Structure 1
């Protein structure tokens, strides 16, 4: 099941990165970007991923139909995730990374009763505003470990 989840997450990531370009609402600064990702995580605590996808859609420069298809796939896997991991308990921002002044990536850990998910949101600033660049969730937490 985890391989299937990882394959689905990879497919979603590739489709979101390589889709047809469309107009998207930019966010004016990193404060707005972080606020949006926090609202998305709050939503993920009580609703299925399609609600999170819907919040990101206005800021993604790809065809909204592609996001809708990915959202539908994510909804199918969510039942398996909650059955295996239990109920969501909390979330925390665990990593913030930047590439110069052009990219920012926020990584959150969503804790469940039996395991956790990693949510990653990446934004790109081509000019004066920030656009969603990539988005994924999976249960690959190994990269989050840091030596003391």
Structure 2
């Protein structure tokens, strides 16, 4: 089915959002080596319900980030958060400190009948850009980022 990704040029392409990894046993876990980290950056997950759930089914889950319980408290309910079926929902953290090795997961809540689902994720690092000047007295700094979409077919 087509996934609604309108509203921003910053969202993953529709083809990416039409695929997903589903935690059929109730969880999805990841361990990633983030080249260029540790450092500050942002991390976003992108979700779109791609399965037709029955009226008595639900998909609710939490981010599990070891050592950061304050980031592991919100519940994701894709259909509710996206405000309708087949529409992208992209929660994340625009300013987060990340290690070189990042372990995290998604775990279904006790009132959920289906395991978590992940369509895509983006992790970007803030990098200092120094344009400098000819005499070395004046420089300008700004932040830029390297973007990476990890597609999860």
TM-score by length of 2: 0.29
Larger RCO: Structure 1 or Structure 2 (Cα < 8 Å, ≥ 6 residues apart)?
2
Q: Which has the higher strand share?
A: 2
TM-score by length of 1: 0.30
Query: Which structure's CA Rg is the greater one?
Result: 2
Q: Which has the higher helix share?
A: 1
